[in-house]
Structure 1
Amino acid sequence: MNTTEGAPGGPGLPRRVLLVDDSVDAAEAMSMLLETLGHDVRVKHDGPSALAMVDEFAPEVVILDIGLPGMNGFDIARELRTRAQTKSALLIALTGYGADSDRQKAHDAGFDHHLVKPVSFTAIETVIADTFAR
C-alpha cells in the first residue's frame, strides 16, 4: 500500500498544510517537496497573513518559523490554539533556536514539535506521517 494514499482528515495523507516562513526561497522549496507527497500546501511569509488564511483553509498541519518579522511564531501558535479551525492542528516549530529553553517556550506556546534548522525534509515528513498514523 502506498503511504501517501488516503483522504484529507483520514489516517493517511494528503493533509492541508500551512507553511509560514519569511524566507521565500526556503518556503517555496519546502512547499514543492510537501506537494510531491500530495499535500495541499499554502505558503505565507508573515503572521498576520497566515492567521487570515486559517479561517478559509483550516490547515491540519502548520509548519511555522519562529523568527518572523512583526509577529513571532510563539504568538502565532498561541493564537492558532484559540481558534476552532486549528485548535487540534499539528503545529511544528521550525527554528534556528534549539536550546532547552527554546523548546520549552515552543511547548508552552502550543507547538507539538520543535525542529531545529537546518532540518531534513525526511524529519518533517516523518513527524506528519507518525502523527496521523495514530
Structure 2
Amino acid sequence: MCRGNASTALDPAEALLVAGRFRPTVAILDIGLPVMNGHELAAELRVLLVAEPPRMIALTGYGQSGDRDRSLAAGFHAHLVKPVDLDDLLGALAVGAKNPDARLPVQ
C-alpha cells in the first residue's frame, strides 16, 4: 500500500508555488504544458528545491524514443506514456522508494 500526501497544480506557475510550500519527494509532470514545458518545469523545480530535489516522473502523450531520451536527458527518472498503466506508475514510484537516484530503462 502506498501512503503519503499529494498536491496538484493546473499549470507550471502554480506548480512552482505549490512545490515551494509542499516540498514534494516525487513530482509527476506532463511534458506538453503551456508557457513552460515539463522539461523546463523540472529544471525550475530542481533549482527551487536544490536541497532536496524530488524524483521526477514524466507522464505524457509523447512516446517516441526521442521523447523518452529528452526526458531522461532533462533529469527525469522515468518517462511514462498516457494512458499510463497503474502498475507502471507504481513501479516507477517503488523504484524511487528503494533508490531515489535510480532511472527506469528506456523502453
**Paired residue for 2:4?**
39
**Paired residue for 1:69?**
34
Give the secondary-structure state (helix, strand or coil) at the position aligned to 2:8.
strand
**Paired residue for 1:116?**
81
Whether 1:50 and 2:27 are equivalent positions in the alignment is: no
Identical counterparts, % of pairs: 39
Higher strand share: 1
Alignment deviations for residues 17-76 of structure 1 (CA, whole Å, 9 cap, x no partner): xxxxxxxxxxxxxxxxxxxx3221101110000011111110000000111122111110
Matches within 5 A, 1:22-37: 37=2
Structure 1 runs of 4+ with >4 Å offset: none
* Bigger radius of gyration: 1
Q: What value does the CA root-mean-square deviation take over the aligned residues?
A: 1.7
CA spacing shift, 1:111–1:90, aligned 2, 3 Å: same
The amino acid of 1:66's aligned partner reads I
Structure 1 CA distance, aligned partners of 2:38 and 2:51?
14
TM-score (norm 1): 0.67
8 Å CA contact 1:59, 1:85 repeated in 2: no
Deviates more, 1:122-131 or 1:52-61: 122-131
Q: Specify which of 83, 91, 106 is matched with residue 126 of structure 1.
A: 91
The amino acid of 1:96's aligned partner reads G
Work out the number of aligned pairs and report it: 99
Query: Gaps (5+ residues) in structure 1?
Result: 5-36
